[in-house]
């Protein structure tokens, strides 16, 4: 893996995927270490506590931002600090980057050559515990519509189909609220002929 050139490889700006994103400031070579995902190293127990707090906050505010990253079997990294620029990298179902742990540090690495100006993105790898809370906005052709690791897509598509079938059944069983247009037309004609 290469660290690339001395010129910084990324810039932050508005993203069409979500809020702010991280973009290539220059051509990035395949395998290049672009940016380190930094933060506070915390225990799994503390990570779980913070995850629940993030979830409660997201329910209250509508913000879905969770910056907890698995480091190893014992520790996670809470990257919610503003100085962790890598926290702004968005998810994509066709990512150009991946997160790799190298010597106890989380690095975002280019999976392929990335053009200058292209948004950096990696697969967040979410499981299906709260899939409905994480809609995906990557816009890629194969996107299942929610942020989930690729290994979960088949099951996710099945869950979406089951949910949609239930919604369709509920919708079909509700009485129609269509107003009769025939009587309105008759009233309108009667009113015109009376004048």
Q: Long-range contacts: 48-53, Cβ < 8 Å, 24+?
A: 50/78
Task: Evaluate whether residue 139 is within a structural domain.
Answer: yes
Report how far residue 190's alpha carbon sits from residue 45's, in angstroms, rounded to the nearest whole number.
75
Task: Evaluate whether residue 135 is within a structural domain.
Answer: yes
Task: Evaluate whether residue 156 is within a structural domain.
Answer: yes
**Per-residue pLDDT reduced to its tens digit, 51-82:** 888 877 777 876 666 789 999 999 999 999 99
Number of domains, the chain: 1
Task: Evaluate whether residue 147 is within a structural domain.
Answer: yes
Q: What is the DSSP secondary structure assignment for residue 134, as one 8-state letter?
A: -
Coil/strand/helix, residue 1: coil
Cβ count near 106 (within 10 Å): 19
What pLDDT score does 54 carry?
80
Contact yes or no for 126/134 (Cβ under 8 A): yes
User: pTM of this prediction?
Assistant: 0.78
Range of the domain at 155: 126-175
Q: Is residue 176 packed enough to be buried (19+ CB in 10 Å), middle (13-18) or exposed (0-12)?
A: exposed
Task: Average the pLDDT over 15-25 and give the result.
Answer: 94
pLDDT tier, 19 (very low <50, low <70, confident <90, very high otherwise): confident
Residue with tokens 């520790």: 75
Q: Long-range contacts: 81-86, Cβ < 8 Å, 24+?
A: 81/38, 81/39, 81/40, 83/38, 84/37, 84/38, 84/39, 85/10, 85/12, 85/22, 85/35, 86/22, 86/35, 86/36, 86/37, 86/38
pLDDT tier, 129 (very low <50, low <70, confident <90, very high otherwise): confident
Task: Evaluate whether residue 100 is within a structural domain.
Answer: no
Task: Evaluate whether residue 20 is within a structural domain.
Answer: no
Percent over 90 (pLDDT), the chain: 65
Report how far residue 186's alpha carbon sits from residue 117's, in angstroms, rounded to the nearest whole number.
62
Among candidate residues 131, 137, 124, the one with its CA nearest the CA of residue 156: 131
Task: Evaluate whether residue 34 is within a structural domain.
Answer: no
Task: Average the pLDDT over 37-49 and give the result.
Answer: 95
Task: Evaluate whether residue 150 is within a structural domain.
Answer: yes
What integer best gives the mean pLDDT of the chain?
Answer: 86
What pLDDT score does 176 carry?
60
What pLDDT score does 135 carry?
92
Report how far residue 191's alpha carbon sits from residue 130's, in angstroms, rounded to the nearest whole number.
57
What pLDDT score does 13 carry?
96
């Amino acid at each position: 893996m290469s660290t690339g050139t001395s010129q910084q490889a990324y810039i932050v700006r508005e993203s069409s995927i979500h809020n702010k994103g991280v973009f290539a400031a220059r051509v990035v070579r395949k395998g290049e270490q672009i940016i380190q995902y930094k933060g506070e190293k915390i225990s799994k127990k503390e990570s779980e506590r913070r995850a629940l707090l993030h979830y409660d906050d997201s329910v209250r505010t509508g913000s879905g931002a969770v910056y907890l990253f698995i480091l190893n079997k014992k520790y996670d990294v809470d990257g919610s600090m503003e100085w962790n620029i890598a926290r702004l990298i968005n998810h994509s179902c066709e990512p150009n980057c991946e997160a790799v742990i190298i010597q106890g540090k989380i690095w975002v690495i280019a999976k392929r050559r990335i053009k200058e100006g292209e948004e950096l993105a990696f697969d967040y790898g979410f499981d299906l515990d709260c899939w409905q809370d994480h809609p995906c906005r990557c816009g890629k052709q194969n996107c299942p519509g929610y942020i989930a690791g690729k290994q979960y897509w088949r099951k996710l598509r099945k869950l979406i189909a089951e949910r949609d079938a239930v919604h369709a059944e509920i919708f079909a069983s509700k009485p129609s609220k269509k107003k009769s247009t025939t009587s309105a037309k008759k009233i309108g004609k009667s009113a015109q002929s009376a004048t």
